[in-house]
Amino acid sequence: MERRYFGTDGIRGRVGESPITPEFVMKLGWAAGRVLGTAKNSKVLIGKDTRISGYLLESALEAGLSAAGVNIRLLGPMPTPGIAYLTRTLHAQAGIVISASHNPFYDNGIKFFSGEGNKLADEVELAIEAELDKPMTTVDSALLGKADRVSGAEGRYIEFCKSTIPLSMNFRGLKIVVDCSHGATYNIAPYVFEELGADVVAVGVSPNGLNINKDVGSTCIGTLCKAVLEHQADLGLALDGDGDRIIMVDGKGNEVDGDELLYIIAKSRLQLHTLNGGVVGTLMSNLGLERALESLGIHFERTSVGDRYIMERLSKKGWVLGGEQSGHIICLDRTTTGDGIIAALQVLAEINRTGQSLHELASGMTKYPQLLVNVKIGSTKAEDIMGDDAVCEAVRQIEAEMGSRGRVLLRPSGTEPLIRVMIEGVDNKQVALLANQLADVVKSKVV
């Protein structure tokens, strides 16, 4: 069956427009409760990022779950990976995240974790969609779900993050800028690094409901670069709005993206004999990552873009490490999902272990020039553009021109009405010329 609502990362859209409306989200809560809350005295956790619409959607979900007879535990603002962790350790039947990750404040979304802290299997999402087709009912009043708040949730998650590096390790002597994107990590990430001894300069820690991801965070690292240089910090790290992505900046103000962080962690695991297999990336992963890992004797495999597909491949292979260029890094030997704070801790642990700077650690990988152009498609169907004869011919021509010296990738976004055009090669000018050339062909097909 084809999903109608669930994308690669839950259900997402503009607040007030289908499907992110109070009516739909209430029924989604009810449908999820019917599927996930079948155990006696079942409970579901709800956490959210700092968007103003979180209050609205939290209440709607609460009403729907209660109508299905499911008890609710409210976490308040909490990073997505923190919700996954607490779902598992509090023995809930499921966890629900209200977040649109790196999107602007006017978007929001709903995603789910199973009781094991993993994203839902396809068949479970389809079962929830099947329930959405049914008339909403309410259990007997004596069976309605109750709601209460979890106290100390932040502290539990902070201690868990710290536990993912050796107990004897500390970061005294390191000055770190921590950019929390005015998002869900604002009251967690600075404390993790401070408690481990680092001198922390915190930015992006004043959420007002409207400023999440605005000019800060992993999708806008200019603020972090400036702060690192201004404060003469050793490095900086930028999280996204829900805390599952991490981009870092070295002491010289240079960006260190997800591919480079994945390389650093993989090399460290290899040297410590804890890699347990190869590494999984995506179609967007830089060719330089693949070549650098191969030079270390580490096998590398690509999947479609999205952590869901990385998790599937890791599970199939029995491997523990994968990630995306955007900074979504999965360390299954530490936790069950992508976690920006935990990924950053693994990199800092390697700095501590080797005595090398972030710049020195990242220098072992040489990135190929790569340009990504996002083309807004509005209501035009992505599949119509992707299958257009002129678009396909343009891709063929570029592939022929680049040969073995580059790659072409054209794909629809799984979370926004965009088609992403990516060209990678050895020459910056050629890459820019061909990427914009292909983007213009795609734009000409938008109705």
Q: For 121-153, write each residue's pLDDT tens digit.
A: 999 999 999 999 999 999 999 999 999 999 999
The arithmetic mean of pLDDT across residues 221-232, rounded, is: 97
Pair 133, 15 in one domain: yes
Structural domain boundaries, residue 231:
171-256
Task: Please report whether residue 216 resides in a domain.
Answer: yes
* Pair 96, 47: CB distance under 8 Å: yes
Q: Is residue 156 part of a domain?
A: no
Domain shared by 213 and 293, yes or no: no
Q: Are residues 346 and 249 in the same domain?
A: no
Q: Which of 256, 273, 299 is the last residue of a domain?
A: 256
Residue 96 domain-assigned (yes or no)? yes
CATH number at residue 99: 3.40.120.10
Residue 200 contacts residue 190 (beta carbons within 8 Å): yes
Q: Can you give the pTM of this predicted structure?
A: 0.91
Strand, helix or coil for residue 238: strand
Mind listing the pLDDT tens digit for each residue in 381-402?
Answer: 999 999 999 999 999 999 999 8
254-308 residue pLDDT tens: 999 999 999 999 999 999 999 999 999 999 899 999 999 999 999 999 999 888 8
Residues 343 and 399 in one domain: no
Domain end, chosen from 256, 288, 310, is at 256
Residue 22 and residue 131 in one domain = yes
Per-residue confidence band for 1, with pLDDT thresholds at 50, 70 and 90: low
- Residue 59 catalytic? no
CA distance 18 to 108: 11
Among the residue ranges 68-77, 304-313, 403-412, the one predicted with the least confidence is 403-412
Q: What is the mean predicted confidence (pLDDT) over 209-213?
A: 98
What integer best gives the mean pLDDT of the chain? 95
Same domain, 262 and 252: no
Q: Do residue 374 and residue 243 come from a single domain?
A: no
Q: For the segment 70-113, what is each residue's pLDDT rounded down to a tens digit?
A: 999 999 999 999 999 999 999 999 999 999 999 999 999 999 99
CA angle 305, 406, 310 (to 5 degrees): 20
Q: Do 138 and 200 belong to one domain? A: no
Which residues touch 152 (CB under 8 Å, ≥6 apart)?
A: none
Q: What is the pLDDT of residue 363?
A: 95
**Domain-located, residue 163:** no
Check whether residue 232 and residue 278 sit in a common domain: no
Residue 40's pLDDT band, with cuts at 50, 70 and 90, is: confident
Catalytic: which of 42, 66, 101, 114? Answer: 101
Domain boundary among 312, 334, 367: 367
In a domain, 4, yes or no: no
Q: Are residues 37 and 146 in the same domain?
A: yes
φ and ψ at residue 60, rounded to 5 degrees: -65, -45
pLDDT confidence bin for 8, thresholds 50/70/90? confident
Strands (E), 240-385: 246-250, 255-256, 279-282, 300-303, 321-323, 329-331, 370-376
Q: Residue 96 is inside which H or E element, if any?
A: strand 94-98
Q: In this structure, what are the phi and psi dihedrals at residue 224, rounded to the nearest 5 degrees?
A: -65, -45
Q: Which of 10, 393, 386, 347 has its CA nearest to residue 164? A: 347
Same structural domain for residues 378 and 343? no
Examine the domain organization and report whether 36 and 64 are in the same domain: yes
